Chains A and B, each alone.
Chain A
Amino acid sequence: MPDFLEALSVAKRYGGIVALSDATLKARSGEVHALLGENGAGKSTFIQILAGAVRADSGSITLGGERFAVRNPEEAQRLGVAAVFQELSLIPDLTVAENIFFRREPLSPLRTARAGAMREATAELFARYRFPAIRPDQELRRLTLAERQVVEIAKALARDPRVLILDEATSALAPRETEWLLGLSRDLAAEGKLVIYISHRLGEVRRIADRVTVFRNGATVAAYDTASVDDDTIIADMLGRQMERLYPERRNTTTGRIALSVKGLSVENRLADLDLDLREGEVLGVAGLQGHGQRELFQALFGAARASGAIEVWGKPRTIRSPRDALSGRDGLALVPEDRRNHGLLLAKSVRENLTLSVVKRFTRFGLTDPKREAKLVDDMIAQLRIKAGSPEQAAGTLSGGNQQKVIFGKMLLTDARILLLYDPTRGIDVGTKGEIFTLMRDLAARGYAILFYSSDLAELVHVADRVAVLRYGRLAAILEGAENSEHQILRAAMIDTRAA
């Protein structure tokens, strides 16, 4: 059977960044084809090209034997390609039916939308694909996230596409709806359609995909019949081999003293009953696929999210209601947040004001700030972290990303807190500064700090952390140390059930 969709050597650059260098995917109609790869491997760019949202720089794509070069999503949809993205495109003020037929409304002779016809067509569509219980006339804003995701799928199906692309469509769905979607994918394939299925959940892929294609660093590295390949091979393909001398030598500086002990920590339904111990002098890595509770863990520990459970800091029970609570005192916890620009820095304010924002009281005498004492704190920290700024009065927003991150580190290091919560501290930072930050982390650990370290880059966890806690569905899936602390094992624990639940 000839390939229905054939994409050969597709490439795409954004300025100096290569998003795709050599992406090849061949898929037949009547199959479910899984597309796998780490975050940043180029999967999103690739499907955006198929969906007409992005144009490829080079490469060739044919669909049903004809050249496929679409300029916009409309054209892609006309040629029978419909995509369901992670970001929803629905309008909260419209009903389910109005959303599904948005901009394609059946019109009356007076060119008004025929609401009744839309409702009927929607009901028909729902019946045909056995959609979960959603009424066509419900207002979208009343639906849950999972239900909206289902509507998004309905919207794509309403155009009766020849190719349906599902990008992490199950990540927002509950188990029952997930089952439905897996069944739906098989049914569509049986109808002779092509379903391109992107998911981090290997279990799902294994159940429904006929074939898999693996992307790494913008290129296709492997394609298999699902039945002929094991999970470990797929994971190894996703990771590849990277050797970099980016990481400092790791000496174990962990003492027996427990800095932070978390018992039964739960945050809504995102983090469930988590137990974790962080020791003095230790860098404890946290890993997990996107949205498996890492963010909630850090927010809860810093008092930025409501949580239940018990937290002990340096052996004493502690309740943390706000970041101010968390930061205060010698038994404090300091956070380097994920979002530098919106959570970390006052961009328009000077490096000096940013650095000392959390410790203004320290150079205040008789109610008035003392510029000399402040200057000393600032100068010392700029020197210690080698922050490259024209002067302490330079606006923080004009620094490079790496130096902005150093300012946030400096602000937190000036506090008395000796437990550091670092959430993806090297994201979007140049390699040189990354190295400096890793060295700083190991130095701080050696000085008795205790560091909880999340990174979206597994290699960092493997090379910098002493142990790695892997989260899956908001639960602790594994704690890996020593030889077990490898990218392979982390990804395995994050994706596959390694122990009975």
Chain B
Amino acid sequence: MNLARHRSILFAYLGLILLLVVTGLVAPGFLSPTHFRSLAVLAAFIGIVALGQTFVVIGGGIDLSVPWVLNAAAVLMTLFAHGQDAPLVWIVPLLLAAGTLVGVVNGLGVGLFGVPPIIMTLAVNVILQGGILVYTGGAPPATAPAAIQFLAVGRIAGFPVIVLLWIVLAIVATLLLSKTAFGRYLYAVGSSATVAEFSGVPTLRTSVAAYALSGFTAALAGMLLTGYSGQAYLGMGDPYLFTSIAAVAIGGASILGGSGHYVGTIAGALVLTVLTGLLPALNLSNGALLVVYGAVILVTVALASEALTDLLPRRRARRIS
């Protein structure tokens, strides 16, 4: 990867390192291997949801439907499985497909019918929320099957399974963005849909695929999160709206599309998780904690954003006439 053209990603990692150093000074016990492992697990959930979000944002859109795609997958899985492992064989593929389908609907609404991404995905989010409330009658469903719990909290040779899964997904995402025609098309569509169209890029197919991927990763994260907490509950996806978008932004993607990379989003997910873990050490009330959390993320995103990096000295592009 060309680092000069991905400066903002570099900034995300510099920020992460800075944050870890500060953390080490303020709370030395915080960076113990055990603690670090649990941070990585928490970061994995954000990282997986933010994977699809990264693709959507690079393509010039935004996916606000992740909270309830995630939540719906979680709730439906526990409802269908009744705590049993065996039915997961069909439940998991079915729900991943359903999440993908929701993404396709988002993508078609935006790409084919011209609904603004914010409206389209927000509407789908509300519809899913309502649908799940109606379907469950508002009662919390059963507990998560053991196999899912293993994926979320189990370890292989001391290594958390979900972190391994995250690494695999990260490699796939990086290949998709950097080494495939789809990746090329996605950056082109996000930079200028018109230019992409005039260049023969399959613009509709490309943006639908990005939303579909976001639906897929949100559904996947929903099921894994159920395994982590042992059960599904209503509202469990809500924090991921903010964190998935913040991770993408901290990772250096322009919210206007056309730039960014999943490699940056990984740093974004880690930054958010370390912050979340660090703030309780400040002994604040819950409310005050949220205020600080929001403010810190705001500042971090602002620091990582193009507006600021543009102010810093930059190797000047030579103008040749």
Are the C-beta atoms of B180 and A368 separated by less than 8 Å? yes
Is A389 positioned at the interface, with any CB of B under 8 Å from its CB?
yes
Proximity bits, A331-373, B CB within 8 Å = 1, else 0: 0000101000011111111100100111011001001110000
Q: Which single member of B5, B179, B258 contacts A368 (CB below 8 Å)?
A: B179
Collect the chain A residues with CB atoms within 8 Å of residue B191's CB.
Answer: 346-349
Collect the chain B residues with CB atoms within 8 Å of residue A304's CB.
Answer: 197-198
Collect the chain B residues with CB atoms within 8 Å of residue A463's CB.
Answer: none
Are the C-beta atoms of A323 and B197 separated by less than 8 Å? yes
Collect the chain B residues with CB atoms within 8 Å of residue A415's CB.
Answer: 200
Collect the chain A residues with CB atoms within 8 Å of residue B194's CB.
Answer: 342-343
In A388-420, the 8 Å CB interface with B consists of: 388-390, 393-395, 398-400, 402-403, 411, 415
Which 5 pairs, one residue from A and one from B, show the smallest C-beta to C-beta distance?
A327-B200, A400-B321, A398-B317, A360-B181, A346-B191
Q: Which single member of A322, A394, A411 contacts B317 (CB below 8 Å)?
A: A394
Which residue of chain B lies nearest to A364 when distances are taken between CB atoms in the complex? B181
Collect the chain A residues with CB atoms within 8 Å of residue B317's CB.
Answer: 390, 394-395, 398
Given A343-B195, A399-B320, check contact A393 B2 (CB 8 Å). yes
- Report B's interface with A, CB cutoff 8 A: 2, 5, 175, 179-181, 184-185, 187-188, 191-192, 194-202, 258-259, 317-321
19 pairs of residues in contact across A and B, judged by CB atoms under 8 Å: A343-B194, A343-B195, A343-B198, A346-B196, A347-B191, A347-B192, A353-B188, A357-B196, A357-B200, A358-B201, A360-B181, A360-B185, A361-B181, A390-B317, A390-B318, A398-B318, A400-B319, A400-B321, A415-B200
Are the C-beta atoms of B195 and A369 separated by less than 8 Å? no
Kindly provide the distance from the CB of B289 to the nearest chain A CB, expressed in whole angstroms.
38
Tally of chain A residues near chain B (CB < 8 A): 43
Are the C-beta atoms of B201 and A346 separated by less than 8 Å? no
For the complex with contacts A350-B5, A369-B179, 8 further pairs of A-B residues with Cβ separation under 8 Å are A324-B201, A327-B199, A346-B187, A358-B201, A364-B180, A368-B179, A388-B321, A390-B318
Collect the chain A residues with CB atoms within 8 Å of residue B2's CB.
Answer: 393
In A128-179, the 8 Å CB interface with B consists of: none
Question: How far is B194's CA from A344's CA once the two chains are assembled, in angstroms?
Answer: 9
Question: How far is B259's CA from A337's CA once the two chains are assembled, in angstroms?
Answer: 24
Given A324-B202, A343-B195, check contact A349 B187 (CB 8 Å). yes
Is A261 positioned at the interface, with any CB of B under 8 Å from its CB?
no
Collect the chain B residues with CB atoms within 8 Å of residue A86's CB.
Answer: none
Are the C-beta atoms of A368 and B318 separated by less than 8 Å? no
Are the C-beta atoms of A388 and B320 separated by less than 8 Å? yes
Are the C-beta atoms of A348 and B175 separated by less than 8 Å? no
Are the C-beta atoms of B184 and A369 separated by less than 8 Å? yes
Collect the chain B residues with CB atoms within 8 Å of residue A349's CB.
Answer: 187-188, 191, 258
Q: Which single member of B184, B259, B321 contacts A357 (CB below 8 Å)?
A: B184
Are the C-beta atoms of B199 and A358 separated by less than 8 Å? yes
Given A389-B320, A395-B317, A403-B320, check contact A344 B195 (CB 8 Å). yes
Are the C-beta atoms of A357 and B188 separated by less than 8 Å? yes
Is A456 positioned at the interface, with any CB of B under 8 Å from its CB?
no
Kindly provide the distance from the CB of B320 to the nearest chain A CB, expressed in whole angstroms.
5
Kindly provide the distance from the CB of B183 to the nearest chain A CB, expressed in whole angstroms.
8
Are the C-beta atoms of A368 and B188 separated by less than 8 Å? no
Is A95 positioned at the interface, with any CB of B under 8 Å from its CB?
no
Collect the chain B residues with CB atoms within 8 Å of residue A368's CB.
Answer: 175, 179-180
**Interchain Cβ contacts within 8 Å, total number:** 96
Given A349-B188, A398-B317, check contact A328 B200 (CB 8 Å). yes
Given A346-B191, A364-B180, A368-B175, check contact A357 B319 (CB 8 Å). no
Collect the chain A residues with CB atoms within 8 Å of residue B179's CB.
Answer: 368-369
Are the C-beta atoms of B180 and A369 separated by less than 8 Å? yes
Kindly provide the distance from the CB of A71 to the nearest chain B CB, expressed in whole angstroms.
36
Which residue of chain B lies nearest to A368 when distances are taken between CB atoms in the complex? B179
Proximity bits, A414-450, B CB within 8 Å = 1, else 0: 0100000000000000100000000000000000000
Given A345-B195, A369-B181, check contact A390 B258 (CB 8 Å). no
Are the C-beta atoms of B199 and A357 separated by less than 8 Å? yes
Are the C-beta atoms of A322 and B320 separated by less than 8 Å? no
Collect the chain B residues with CB atoms within 8 Å of residue A342's CB.
Answer: 192, 194-195
Which residue of chain A lies nearest to B190 when distances are taken between CB atoms in the complex? A346
Collect the chain A residues with CB atoms within 8 Å of residue B321's CB.
Answer: 388, 400, 402-403, 430
Kindly provide the distance from the CB of A150 to the nearest chain B CB, expressed in whole angstroms.
32
Are the C-beta atoms of A344 and B198 separated by less than 8 Å? yes
Collect the chain A residues with CB atoms within 8 Å of residue B180's CB.
Answer: 364, 367-369
Question: How far is B201's CA from A349's CA once the two chains are assembled, in angstroms?
Answer: 15
Which residue of chain B lies nearest to A362 when distances are taken between CB atoms in the complex? B181
Collect the chain B residues with CB atoms within 8 Å of residue A398's CB.
Answer: 317-319
Are the C-beta atoms of B198 and A323 separated by less than 8 Å? yes
Given A345-B195, A348-B259, A398-B318, check contact A323 B200 (CB 8 Å). yes
Question: How far is B196's CA from A343's CA once the two chains are assembled, in angstroms?
Answer: 8
Q: Which single member of A353, A357, A400, A430 contacts B320 (CB below 8 Å)?
A: A400
Question: How far is B321's CA from A388's CA once the two chains are assembled, in angstroms?
Answer: 7
Question: How far is B196's CA from A411's CA once the two chains are assembled, in angstroms?
Answer: 12
Given A357-B199, A394-B317, A394-B318, check contact A346 B181 (CB 8 Å). no
Q: Which of A346, A398, A400 has the most CB of B within 10 A?
A: A346
Given A349-B191, A368-B179, A393-B5, check contact A324 B200 (CB 8 Å). yes
Question: How far is B193's CA from A322's CA once the two chains are assembled, in angstroms?
Answer: 14
Question: How far is B172's CA from A368's CA once the two chains are assembled, in angstroms?
Answer: 12
Kindly provide the distance from the CB of A139 to the nearest chain B CB, expressed in whole angstroms.
24
Kindly provide the distance from the CB of A358 to the nearest chain B CB, expressed in whole angstroms.
5
Which residue of chain A lies nearest to B254 when distances are taken between CB atoms in the complex? A348
Collect the chain A residues with CB atoms within 8 Å of residue B202's CB.
Answer: 324
Kindly provide the distance from the CB of A24 to the nearest chain B CB, expressed in whole angstroms.
36
Q: Which of B2, B180, B200, B259 has the most CB of A within 10 A?
A: B200
Which residue of chain A lies nearest to B183 when distances are taken between CB atoms in the complex? A369
Kindly provide the distance from the CB of B296 to the nearest chain A CB, expressed in whole angstroms.
29
Question: How far is B117's CA from A195's CA once the two chains are assembled, in angstroms?
Answer: 51
Q: Which single member of A358, A369, A394, A399 contacts B200 (CB below 8 Å)?
A: A358
Q: Which of A302, A348, A393 has the most CB of B within 10 A?
A: A348
Which residue of chain B lies nearest to A356 when distances are taken between CB atoms in the complex? B184
Collect the chain B residues with CB atoms within 8 Å of residue A324's CB.
Answer: 197, 200-202
Collect the chain A residues with CB atoms within 8 Å of residue B201's CB.
Answer: 324, 357-358
